[in-house]
Structure 1
Amino acid sequence: MNKLLPLFFLFISFADIDTTQNQFIARQGQITFFSYTSVENIEAQNNQVLSLLDIDKQEIAISMLMRAFVFKKDLMYEHFNESYVESDLHPKANFEGKIINFDAKTSDPQTKIIRGKLTIHGITKEVDIKSTIKKIDENYLISGEFDVFVNDYQIKIPPILASNIAKMISIKFQFQYQPYED
């Protein structure tokens, strides 16, 4: 049931979209984040990311559960969810945006900016994300990388641990979209 809840809310936020042949869904998108420090690198991966793509409107929506990130160490998972992103209070991260100057008629790979609102830890910020969009047969592959500053999302790091966590986190993503079917 918990896995269906983000899907339900994502569809509500996209309620005005008419599900036609130009609607696509990625049910198992992938988001990875990386934090480099001199003490220890922190990396986590989430393969349970849901995304909707509307080619006609050039819109994209992404929703993921923060607790779905997998870490190499259990203690990192615990600190991430309990102390930093406070998953009990802010269980999801979301993104809603528009692909700038996307040409749906070409099958050539396109490098485009996706401009939108990223919500993490209950804080929403405008972001521009450089992305690569490829059309493969009747499907789309969207991937990219961008950075976020921990302070922008009011994630508090105790001073004693400040050297263990980078101030800027690198985020990579990849979504394989298939036509949406009712």
Structure 2
Amino acid sequence: MSMFVDGLDKAVQRAFTRPIPKSAGAQVRYLVKQRKGSTKAVAELLGITQRTVERYVKDQIKMPRRDLAARLEAEVTRRWQPQVRARARQRAATTGGIVIDTRARLGYTAPIGSTDQDRIRHLTVALPPQYAALLFDAQEQGAGEQQLQEIAAEALREVYFQDSGRRAGSLEEVRFTDIEHLDFDL
């Protein structure tokens, strides 16, 4: 399970203006249309035969197996409303920013004499657009969970702990571990 990638995807999906198709036939037809009419490409994508894809397209099969239904919904969701998805990401990266809601163990490295012990915190923090852009760019380039987690930790250091430079100027590093809950919103 990929908490950061899934969380960013769900945040963008909330911007969709229409729901994804519900029936298996409509979902398969959408994928075939996305693949420029190639039932063979959709069959390879879903791990089923080309003939099975053709039967879904013609509504000869209506109820897919549970595992196939999950793969089908995931593939349609991944490709659904690409322009709306791009606009939502662009808006977050340029003007709107992104809100992170997390319950995790947070601590920091600071000079001697401060209370830098890690502890579980529940934070809901609005991050500025530059961090939304960093998160989305890293996600597009295939960054792993660790890299996305480091970007989020840097953002929390800047916005939450240092209050955009107004306090804790000597704070060096924020530790963001043991994530129990993570959610993003645009």
TM over 0.5: no
Which has the larger helix fraction?
2
**Greater C-alpha Rg:** 2
Higher strand share: 1
Question: Structure 2 length normalisation: TM-score?
Answer: 0.28
